Structure 1
């Protein structure tokens, strides 16, 4: 028997990608509902080779579904979650609303799939932050091999991570600069076209941003609470695809060759690391792909047992929608849906 599915936030970039990936991966859905706010009622979104009409999330009867893939923002899902779970449905939530709730599992299927059993408590599974997902997928096999003690990383995050309006702003600013129009800033505090912005999210105590804090605490919850991680998160003028430059320190000795051999066999990882001019992956090449790509694996001679990695993924896919669908597959395989 198949699963009855609703995609909440179906008109957004991640919601649309969820619908696409459900069909691409042949998820066993008996029915699929596209949900969004009242202003989007009747809008059509694609699911495979057919279009489905958007329904109102506020009035939808959630007893008609077994699973809700949510990408509607923290405030909205906090309001809707009690209604959804009371109706018997399971939520896979892409927002930050429940990530640090001790009774809600935070899951990357290649890293901590057994944590899905914790979904029985609240019928909610949290999808991690986009940059966290691709980072822990690459770090997990190396942590198993030599035990990571510390990670220092810089992210290069595309504007799609901030939504459709942010992508539109990059396009408008880029076009406007070529015709000498005044640069209008709405979604970002600084010009994003032909620029980089070293701040994502609000500032917290100590000058750390919300995005940087998320990477730290989420990595600890998913991978190992003993790992020390410090990040600088930067928005770059790229439409889709995030990159992370990670400098990793290990408890035990590890070579770049051993790391490459391990990553080559790791689930969810595609190693592209040739000593050639084009022997690495950039964000634009990751678009539409499922894998987390790792390139430029090399030893860091400035620290004992240190490695440097370049980690790239499609943030709308593995960084959001794909990971959510993989979680749904895991829940279904464990008999936790319906």
Structure 2
């Protein structure tokens, strides 16, 4: 008997990607339910070659549902995830609502799979921030060998990280520029077409943005609390795919060749690193792909035991939907969850 899976936020970019990935990976689901707000009730979404109608979250009974993939934002998750968890359904949440709760494991399966056992405290598992997910996939195998002391990362994040509204704004503004119409800013604080914006999420008292703080806090929780990390998060006019320029300082010596060999063997990583024109990955290369691409691996002579990397990944997949589905798969692989529904 397979599992019953509910997708909350099924009409959004990440929700639709979750449906695609469940089908692509042959997830052992006997039934998949699409959920959203009342205003989206009756909307049709695709699940493989099938079309399913969206049901209202407000009236749905989770008592026979095994796994809930939650992608409806922090406010909805704070209200609903505890209610769903108390009904015996495991919530895998894509928002930031539960990532820093000590009773909720924050999981990237390639990085800290053993931490998943802690989900039973609240029946909630948190998915990390999209920019953190791809970063720690690359850092983990290097940390295991040479022990990371400090990370400096600058992100180049696509507009899809801001949802459909962000993608629409880039498209609308780009068209407006070409036809000499007025350019309007709605989703972003400044024009995103043909521009970059060094501002993602709200500003904090120390001058960092919440997005930058998330990368620091989540890396410490998942990888090692001793790692020092500083980030600058930048929105760029790219539709899909986050990129990161990363400088790493290690406790032990490690060469670029050693790092390249380690990353080639690491789960979830794909090294594309030729010292020639086009011998590196770009966001366009990552779109629709599962891997975290790593390029431009080189030694950083400005610090002792330093490396510099370029990391690219599809933020809607590894940064969100794929990682959530991988967490669900991990629950099943480790026999931590059994189907609750009765056979017909």
Sort the TM-score into its range (normalised by shorter chain): over 0.9
Which residue in the other structure is 2:287 paired with?
287
Give the aligned partner of residue 66 of structure 2.
Answer: 66
Q: Secondary structure at the match of 2:181?
A: coil
For 1:128-184, what per-residue CA distance to the aligned partner results, in whole angstroms no more than 9, with x for missing partners?
Answer: 000000000000000011000000010000000000011000000000000111111
Cα deviation for residue 333 of structure 1 reads 1.6
Worse-matched range after superposition: 47-56 or 327-336: 327-336
Equivalent pair of 1:103/1:118 in contact (CA under 8 Å) = yes
Question: Offset of 1:336 from its aligned partner?
Answer: 2.4
Partner of 2:187, secondary structure, is coil
Report the CA distance between 1:337 and its aligned residue: 2.4
**Would the aligned equivalents of 2:152 and 2:230 in 1 still touch at CA under 8 Å?**
yes
Q: How does 1:266-305 map to 2 (within 5 A)?
A: 266-305=266-305
Superposition pairs of residues 1-338 of structure 1, within 5 angstroms: 1-338=1-338
The answer to whether the Cα contact below 8 Å between 2:86 and 2:123 also exists between their aligned partners in 1 is: no
CA contact (8 A) 1:142 1:259 kept: yes
**1: CA distance between counterparts of 2:251 and 2:314?**
31
- Structure 1 stretches of at least 4 aligned residues deviating more than 6 Å after TM superposition: none
**Corresponding residue pairs, total:** 338
In 2, Cα distance between equivalents of 1:331 and 1:261 = 30
Does the CA contact (< 8 Å) of 2:82 and 2:122 recur in 1? Answer: no
Measure, in 2, the Cα distance between the counterparts of 1:171 and 1:118.
Answer: 42
- TM-score, normalised via structure 2 length: 0.98
**Unmatched tracts of structure 2, length 5 or more:** 339-344
User: Aligned equivalents of 1:86 and 1:261: distance in 2?
Assistant: 45
Measure the CA separation in 2 of the matches of 1:162 and 1:334.
34
Residue 185 of structure 1: CA displacement? 0.5
Distance, in Å, in 2 between the alignment partners of 1:242 and 1:296 is 16
CA positional deviation for 1:77 = 0.9
The structural deviation recorded for 1:85 is 1.2
Q: CA deviation at 1:64?
A: 2.7
Contact 1:111 1:137 in 2 (8 A): yes
Give a deviation string over 1:206-235, Cα, whole Å, max 9, x none: 100000000000000000000000000000
Is the 8 Å Cα contact of residues 67 and 337 (structure 1) preserved in structure 2? no
Measure the CA separation in 1 of the matches of 2:260 and 2:86: 47
**SS of residue matched to 1:206:** coil
